[in-house]
Structure 1
Amino acid sequence: MPDFGLQVYNQSNVLQIDSTYKNLALRAKGSVAATTATAQGDWFYATVTVSAGVSPVMAFRCPVACYLRQTTIANGNITYLFLVKGNSQIVQYWIFDDPVQATRSGNYGLQVFNSAGSLVFDSRSKYMRVLDSVRGNGNLSDPIEAGFTRSYSGLPAVVQGQLRFRVTNNATGQPPAITVFGALEQVAPTFSGTNITFAMMPSAVVQYSVNQNVPPGQFHTAYDYLVLDVANI
């Protein structure tokens, strides 16, 4: 319960803002082209590096299949590495963080503080708007294997949580001339207007030499995404 002060309700009489309000606010946004080639000819890398901030959450969208491959933190910065299907395709991103890190514009608006004097809401900030949660619990026959599409209001982008991926090893040839290939498949969302298509697809193949130790196959089945509305943010 709030300790004192302002309370704001919506038209359904649901409490929206008071001194206990907490949400992440926009700190940075931008776009980046995927132009760094990978060993798999039709997939390209794109990277975004920003200040690590306090507790960043990054949402993204792209008109072709793409996914967040890796996140690293070093020297006070955080770097996001995307893998994108297609050369020079554009990844849009939005980074939300603790409200003290928020990007604000203008000199007028409403601010709400709690009893400790900490700012909990500023009308000049652009807060995270959650539309949906898309997740799977690890079922091997999950619908995401074939793919499915969901439609939303606004402009949807996703925060990637767990990444569903599979690495399988396949051998060709006859002894002793056997070649082993390791194939990577993972979920790579595709965005089109208000639609998002979630589907497994291949993104890399590794050929192992005769003298190499071939690592065992891997399969992480669970996945989860938070869908945000980034329209006019």
Structure 2
Amino acid sequence: MSASHSLQASGVRALTSQPALPDIVSSDGLSFHLDQAHASLADIRLTLGTGRTCADVKESLASGVGCEDAADGDRSVLSLAGPFVFNLVNGTLFSIHGTQVSEDEDAVEIPPGLYAGIRFRLDPIVSGGDGFRARTSLFDGKEWSMDLTLPPGETLGFVSTNPTLAVEEGGSLRVTFRQETWIQDLPLASCFQKGDLTLTDTVLSLDAARGECQGAGDRMRTQLRAHGGMSARSF
């Protein structure tokens, strides 16, 4: 039990989904493994589930967590300023407000209960850097890699498909980026064979793709923005 709260705090975690390897596959079978991925989440706004108001959670709000009551029939919202940098591969918190935390640092604390949606802004992971960055490597052992990024300043939002999504006391709300969707519509193997997707040193650049893969970087980013979700775990 927390000394300052009547309930054991629950938490927020951000991570990628965990499909069977290989993690990321193009439409024509070029396969990649997700080596590392980080995202910096700021101005996090968590929509409370139906019927919950700030009065219901005020006694269990951690330091730095605000609550705004609904207006005109909207739902109440928790707010966390951040930025919080997450290691998306294992769902752990990497840094808070630019200060690195220990590996056993608890997740961002929120009250247990029902949640309906989340919105957040991507902040630079490091000064002048991307808001989201994933590094992948070719699954068959070649020393090729591919970076997948989103710029800072973008706002993303996901809603729960479960109207009664409940975060248990001591559990966690999981925000998931579904990496299996990122390049599933791109014929990368064909484009590479035709010379429309080339290597710079050992790095494949989707933004430099031509021909059938023209605009591949933007198409990947559209998939990344669109395919996310929320779930709850007991830990």
Question: Shared fold (TM-score greater than 0.5)?
Answer: no
Q: Tell me which of the two structures has the higher relative contact order, counting C-alpha pairs closer than 8 angstroms and 6 or more residues apart.
A: 2
Shorter-chain TM range is: under 0.3
Bigger share in helix = 2
Q: Could you state the TM-score of these two structures normalised by the residue count of structure 2?
A: 0.25
Q: Could you state the TM-score of these two structures normalised by the residue count of structure 1?
A: 0.25
Bigger share in strand = 1
If you compute each CA radius of gyration, which structure gives the higher value, 1 or 2? 1
